[in-house]
């Protein structure tokens, strides 16, 4: 009963705050769109907006590990494991500039999805070759403009906690654009909100671990498929001592 009540309060707060904050996002977009091509200010506002839900939730303790590893010397491809809807909120705690690659359905969500469009985040319709090609071209443009991009190479959330196979898109994009790859590990989110359902669980420790960046020279010197296996091995090794989450 307490979990149900807490969940209703959380989702209700998210709805009300999104209605209230979206007009500010529109105002920032309207004022800055002509000179802020990277949507830097709007993304920073969005990062603060999303972070509210982890800062104010009393049962989530979120920490960032290895922040000194975060590459900020130029655009990069950030890749993270994916376990829960909460991953999205938590990764905004990086407070770093990037463009999300996200399934196109998310862009239809009132207020939140509309803001994603204003931020020029990058939609993809899974399983459709044309959409995948459009996504990759959009990523190319974003990187050329100096934006990093953030992707879940598993493509969808793991329902078991075990790392799924990686899709090659992120690695082809990094290879083609000669940019670094930044692996990121998210822990504890599946325990906070499992894949199936919207009932928040009890008190949870959530962490983001930023692993050492793979330099652009190494990315360019390695075939995308080989880099995929290398990064997946690094992520898998970092997760190997965890118990799978159901």
Q: Where are the domains of the chain?
A: 2-239
**206 CB contacts (<8 Å, ≥6 apart)?**
54, 60, 61, 62, 63, 86, 90, 186, 187, 188, 189, 192
Say how many CA atoms lie within 13 Å of 51 toward its Cβ: 15
What does residue 76 show for φ and ψ, rounded to 5 degrees?
-150, 165
The pLDDT, as a whole number, for residue 242 is 57
Q: How confident is the model at residue 200 (pLDDT cuts 50, 70, 90)?
A: confident
Percent of the chain surpassing pLDDT 70: 94
pTM for this entry: 0.91
Cβ contact 113:102 at 8 Å? no
Higher-scoring residue by pLDDT: 195, 4: 4
pLDDT over 80 (residue 3): no
The pLDDT, as a whole number, for residue 245 is 43
The pLDDT, as a whole number, for residue 161 is 64
Average pLDDT over residues 99-107: 94
Q: Tell me which of 3.90.470.20, 3.60.15.10, 3.40.1130.10, 3.40.630.30 is the CATH number of domain 2-239.
A: 3.40.1130.10
What does residue 62 show for φ and ψ, rounded to 5 degrees?
-110, 130
pLDDT over 70 (residue 190): yes
pLDDT over 70 (residue 207): yes
Average pLDDT over residues 186-193: 88
Helices marked H in the chain — which ranges? 2-32, 40-55, 86-91, 112-118, 129-144, 169-177, 189-192, 216-220, 224-239
Kindly report the average pLDDT of the chain as a whole number. 90
CA–CA dist 70, 148 (Å, integer) = 12
Average pLDDT over residues 106-132: 92
| 222-242 confidence digits (pLDDT tens) | 999 999 999 999 999 988 865
The pLDDT, as a whole number, for residue 126 is 80
Average pLDDT over residues 128-139: 91
Higher-scoring residue by pLDDT: 57, 246: 57
The pLDDT, as a whole number, for residue 246 is 38
């Amino acid at each position: 009963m307490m979990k149900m009540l807490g969940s209703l309060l959380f989702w209700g707060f998210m709805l009300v705050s999104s209605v209230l904050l979206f007009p500010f996002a529109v105002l920032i977009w309207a004022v800055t769109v002509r000179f802020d091509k990277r949507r830097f200010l709007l993304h920073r506002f969005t990062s603060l907006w999303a972070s509210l839900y982890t800062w104010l939730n009393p049962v989530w303790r979120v920490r960032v590990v290895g922040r000194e590893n975060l590459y900020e010397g130029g655009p990069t491809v950030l890749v993270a494991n994916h376990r829960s809807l909460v991953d999205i909120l938590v990764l905004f705690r990086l407070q770093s500039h990037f463009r999300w690659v996200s399934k196109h359905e998310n862009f239809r969500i009132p207020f939140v999805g509309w803001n994603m469009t204003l931020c020029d985040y990058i939609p993809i319709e899974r399983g459709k070759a044309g959409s995948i090609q459009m996504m990759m071209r959009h990523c190319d443009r974003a990187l050329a403009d100096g934006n990093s991009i953030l992707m879940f190479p598993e493509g969808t959330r793991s329902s078991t906690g075990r790392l799924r196979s990686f899709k090659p898109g992120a690695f082809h994009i990094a290879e083609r654009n000669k940019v670094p790859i930044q692996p990121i590990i998210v822990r504890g989110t599946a325990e906070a909100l499992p894949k199936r359902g919207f009932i928040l669980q009890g008190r949870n420790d959530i962490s983001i671990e930023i692993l050492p960046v793979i330099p652009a020279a190494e990315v360019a010197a390695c075939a995308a498929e080989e880099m995929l296996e290398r990064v997946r091995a690094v992520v898998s090794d970092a997760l190997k001592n965890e118990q799978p989450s159901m």
